[in-house]
Structure 1
Amino acid sequence: MLLTGVAFGQGPQFVDVTRQVGVDFRYANGASGRKYAVEPFGAGLALFDYDGDGDLDVYFVNGGPLPGYGGEAIRPGALYRNEGKGERTSPSPVAGDRRLMPPPSPRAEREGDRGWVRSPSALFTDVTAQAGLTTPGYGMGCCVGDYDNDGHPDLYVTNFGADVLYRNNGDGTFADVTRQAGVAGGLWNTGCAFADVDGDGDLDLFVAGYVRFRFDDPRLTSGFYLIPYLPPSLRNKSLGELKVYPDPVNFDPLPDILYRNEGPGPDGVHRFADVTRQAGIVDDGGRSLGVVFLDYDDDGDQDLYVANDETRNTLYRNDRGKFSDVTLFSGVGYDENGRPQASMGVDAGDYDGDGRLDLITTNFQGEHTTLYHNDGGGFFSDVSFRAGVGAVTRPYVGWGVAFFDFDNDGDLDLLHVNGHLQSEIERIDPSTSHAQPTLLLRNDGGTFTDVAATSGLRSRWVGRGAAVGDYDEDGDLDVFIQTLDRTAVVLRNDGSTGLTTGGGNRNHWLRVKLEGGRRPHPPPFPPSLPSDSFRRRSLPREREGASRALSTGLGEGEVRLSNRSAIGARVRVTSGGLTQVREVKSGTSYLSQGDLRLHFGLGQNRRADLVEVRWPSGAVRRLRDVAADQTVTLQEEAEK
């Protein structure tokens, strides 16, 4: 049953409000003209409420200086605090000076604070230095999760070089605990994601490895550029002195890493152990970029999908903390013709409303973005062209991708961010360009149509990471994009509010915010499990609604509870005869992190008939007759 309340082609409008909201971050790749392999990959970003004030803040990952770079100093990244809707003016010695102040209290608003001026968008302030996010590095990706269960979301940043784990101190600042935690990683890591893979109530961490690259590597540039889809007359065309970025197949792949959360040490900082081999994560030669945890087989634990560049993608099935490579069995390693693709971004979502999570990967120009339909029984089918995704994405190099219901009509649409890898591509292939359009694929009964041009998305960017979330709390999902060629982009969705003449809609929505029941472990540091074991430390699932006791790590009488971020929780919302499924996910897209809160479009329905939460612990909670147009916050409680 379609819940739409807006005619096709007259949906929400996206407005570029980057300058208006105070975001001035510009990614720097430290390029010096030498075409180092790391330069064109860009970076990701994260949307999360770091200060606990109820709205989304944003962190942008940044690059760093490379050999030969002679430009301005490059900061390691940027955290922008969301100040809420509006700005306040305050007396100042300088006439006409307007200073950004915190939003007024509800009481001040009731009593009429005349210094408060309403704005249709939230405003952001750069608080990077105050927050302590200053560890230098050449950033790639990031992910968010409350790994120590203290109620404050933590941040992990992957790098070309040592990675960084920032612990959220809960007072608006972060501490670099990488060394104590043991998660510095490898030589060049890209995607990352938190998940409770062993079911012990705290978050573990997966980190994707890319390739072994050295600045003195003779394979740095080739002088030629191979484009498989070009006619033979243009292939291997000599470019003279024109340098191009090298093909990643020239470099040896780096292994991925799975870190198990071992709990806190005597200093209170959690330690992580590299359990990659014990857990069954194999070094299969993949050059990994995007990653996503999902429960594709609906058995209650977190499986793992990894997007690889020019090698087959990998799906790992989780069986009580032990992973098995089921790629060939499942059908998600190659396209429908049996060919590996150059995959970058990835996401999981139930686009056709059958209750099973499907997969999507963005790929290189001349290939196509691949949509894998979850057929059940562990099998997937490549439905890219049947679903309208294949042909429209073939001309572009795809990066960030996200399933999201941008028009609140009750099904998942697609954001698809593009931009070529080669900065000189116009000289090589006149049919394409470095900056490319962003696609907005509207879901109409399981078939997608690009409506970007009629939705305000007419600009071209060299896009990379992307994330979606309702930063202005108006009930529709906004878009943030990292680019290589300009300031990061903030696209406000004027859908549910109908702010834009001739656009928008009045569809209803429901947001679900989950908080797992797990609380911090007390020190001292518990003994590690034997190095030759990696097992799920819990008993088999019991009856519906019951929490499961851990077989180790809990005292007598204690019950198992979910990680505080509720990553891995599955929520079903039924409204007007339609049931939607979402999972709380860390990571996803291209090296990015979207809002951990779950957003459901309800169309013209003013209520949700049923909201069902399956916590990572296995406990189930149901709410009936829930009013629309609100955020429902649910906390997991131990069974009495």
Structure 2
Amino acid sequence: MKLFPFLILVVVASISNMPKIHAQQFVESSTGRLPIFNEYSSQVAIADVDGDGDLDLCFANGRGFSSASLQERVRLLINDGSATFSDESQARLGNLLGYGRDVEFGDIDGDGDLDLAVANDFLSTQKLLVNNGSGFFTDESATRIPQFAMSSAHCSFGDVDDDGDLDLWFTRGGSSRFGSGQAQLWINDGAGFYTNETASRLPAQLVSEPMDCIFGDLDGDLDLDMLEGHRAGNSKLYRNDGGIFVDITAGNLPGDSNTYSYDLGDLDGDGDLHVFGANSGVGSREAVFQNNGAGSFTNVTSTVLPNSSNPNVDDNDSKFFDSDNDGDLDVVICRIGGPERLLRNNGNGTLSLFNGALSSVSDSSLDIEVADLDG
């Protein structure tokens, strides 16, 4: 179970104006900053929900790994501007209970504030909440998104048809996120009302144990392609052709083994996006896939991230960010049963484990985010 105290280790540390130092940079600071709840948190999202200029936190909660256990509340924690948070979930979200696996923010109706999508597991309906502009949300799922029971581990906002509004992609499993199902693509009408256009825009195929989905322009043609990470292996790469997605996995995405998440970033400064996969490599190590610039990837893990910096442990998520302000992207990783890790970019796109950068806290970590929470 992932508890709140682990998260603040990573997200509360300010990365602004950080010098290039070779000592601990991120200190575990949960006490006094975060409310304490004993809840099963699968994902955290960071956004300024109330328009006051600082970043707030939202947690997807719900107990149960492969079978449903207990519905829990989506939590919304409001920042006072100095990275001290108060729980205002009930007042701002209402009684939002479920088997939450992911929370994502996006402006669905073009009114300048951030609305909230929730991916729910265990054959539940998905949720879409509309922000009133001051950080108070109304659940308008019944009228705005398709309503049928499905099991989802992740959702992503992206403008797939280049019409200026945000569409929604949901992963879909079977009776749980670990089953097999058809990915879902719901198209925005511009006012924040969604139509299920999966059948006309996605290949008709079931995928096994989908855990993550991430949009990015992978081939440099200025539209959003899709990468889905699957715990059962056989992750998928979809090329966007005018809002229609084509499965180009074969020959373009290296095989993976046990993917929990993917992240995209330009490791070597060549202008295209690389893939970093948590648990995607041999023996459930991390994997790094290099882009040829046209959206075809090669597994370069052995040269970019040698085993000496890539232990065989139970990692769940990673994020690219420039930890030392040297102009290149480093990677931070969270894991179950051990401390988080920082991989420092050597300046040439290779990565090395950098010890002492994070407080050593052993916990059950499922997600990691990086942001300047204290200004």
Alpha-carbon contact 2:254-2:297 (below 8 Å) kept: no
User: 1:408-427, aligned counterparts within 5 Å?
Assistant: 408-419=325-336
Shift, 1:281, TM fit = 3.7
User: 1:169-318, aligned counterparts within 5 Å?
Assistant: 169-184=132-147, 186-213=149-176, 248=178, 252-264=179-191, 270-318=192-240
Q: Secondary structure at the match of 1:190?
A: coil
Structure 2: distance between partners of 1:281 and 1:464:
30
- Quick check: 1:141 aligned with 2:102? yes
The one-letter amino acid paired with 2:270 is D
Alpha-carbon contact 1:417-1:438 (below 8 Å) kept: yes
Alpha-carbon contact 1:292-1:306 (below 8 Å) kept: yes
Match of 1:20 among 2, 13, 32: 32
Shift, 1:75, TM fit = 4.0
Quickly say closer, same or farther: Cα 1:281–1:57, change in 2 above 3 A.
farther
Q: Secondary structure at the match of 2:368?
A: strand
In structure 1, the residue matched to 2:79 is 82
CA displacement 1:209-258 (0-9 Å, x = unmatched): 123249xxxxxxxxxxxxxxxxxxxxxxxxxxxxxxxxx5xxx4021100
Alpha-carbon contact 2:261-2:318 (below 8 Å) kept: yes
Quickly say closer, same or farther: Cα 1:260–1:60, change in 2 above 3 A.
same
Structure 2: distance between partners of 1:147 and 1:75:
25
The one-letter amino acid paired with 1:148 is D
The one-letter amino acid paired with 1:54 is G
Q: What fraction of aligned residue pairs are identical, expressed as a percent?
A: 31
Shift, 1:169, TM fit = 1.1
Structure 2: distance between partners of 1:361 and 1:355:
19
Quickly say closer, same or farther: Cα 1:417–1:14, change in 2 above 3 A.
same
Structure 1: distance between partners of 2:262 and 2:148:
22
Alpha-carbon contact 1:315-1:333 (below 8 Å) kept: no
Structure 2: distance between partners of 1:259 and 1:82:
32
User: 1:198-597, aligned counterparts within 5 Å?
Assistant: 198-213=161-176, 248=178, 252-264=179-191, 270-330=192-252, 332-334=253-255, 340-363=256-279, 366-388=283-305, 390-419=307-336, 435-445=337-347, 446-451=349-354, 453-473=355-375
Q: Secondary structure at the match of 1:366?
A: helix
Alpha-carbon contact 2:273-2:291 (below 8 Å) kept: yes
| Structure with greater Cα Rg | 1
Alpha-carbon contact 1:288-1:306 (below 8 Å) kept: yes
Structure-2-length-normalised TM-score:
0.88
Count the aligned residue pairs.
353
Structure 2: distance between partners of 1:389 and 1:465:
23
The one-letter amino acid paired with 2:81 is G
The one-letter amino acid paired with 1:358 is H
Shift, 1:18, TM fit = 0.8
Structure 2: distance between partners of 1:54 and 1:389:
41
Structure 1: distance between partners of 2:163 and 2:352:
42
- Quick check: 1:127 aligned with 2:88? yes
Structure 2: distance between partners of 1:195 and 1:212:
26
Shift, 1:328, TM fit = 1.3
In structure 1, the residue matched to 2:20 is 6
Quickly say closer, same or farther: Cα 1:134–1:407, change in 2 above 3 A.
farther
Quickly say closer, same or farther: Cα 1:282–1:411, change in 2 above 3 A.
farther
Quickly say closer, same or farther: Cα 1:442–1:179, change in 2 above 3 A.
same
Structure 2: distance between partners of 1:397 and 1:281:
32
CA displacement 1:26-79 (0-9 Å, x = unmatched): 323xxxxxxxxxxxxx5101000000111100001111489996xxx8641211
The one-letter amino acid paired with 1:442 is R
The one-letter amino acid paired with 2:214 is V
Q: Secondary structure at the match of 1:19?
A: coil
Structure 2: distance between partners of 1:176 and 1:460:
36
Quickly say closer, same or farther: Cα 1:387–1:202, change in 2 above 3 A.
same
Structure 2: distance between partners of 1:333 and 1:257:
23
The one-letter amino acid paired with 1:21 is R
Structure 2: distance between partners of 1:395 and 1:185:
39
Shift, 1:390, TM fit = 4.9
Structure 1 stretches of 5 or more lacking a match?
Answer: 29-41, 86-121, 215-247, 265-269, 335-339, 420-434, 474-640
The one-letter amino acid paired with 2:364 is V
Structure 1: distance between partners of 2:323 and 2:230:
28
Alpha-carbon contact 2:78-2:87 (below 8 Å) kept: yes
Q: Secondary structure at the match of 1:317?
A: strand
In structure 1, the residue matched to 2:12 is none
| CA RMSD of superposed structures (Å) | 2.3
Structure 2: distance between partners of 1:389 and 1:190:
30
Structure-1-length-normalised TM-score:
0.52
The one-letter amino acid paired with 2:208 is G
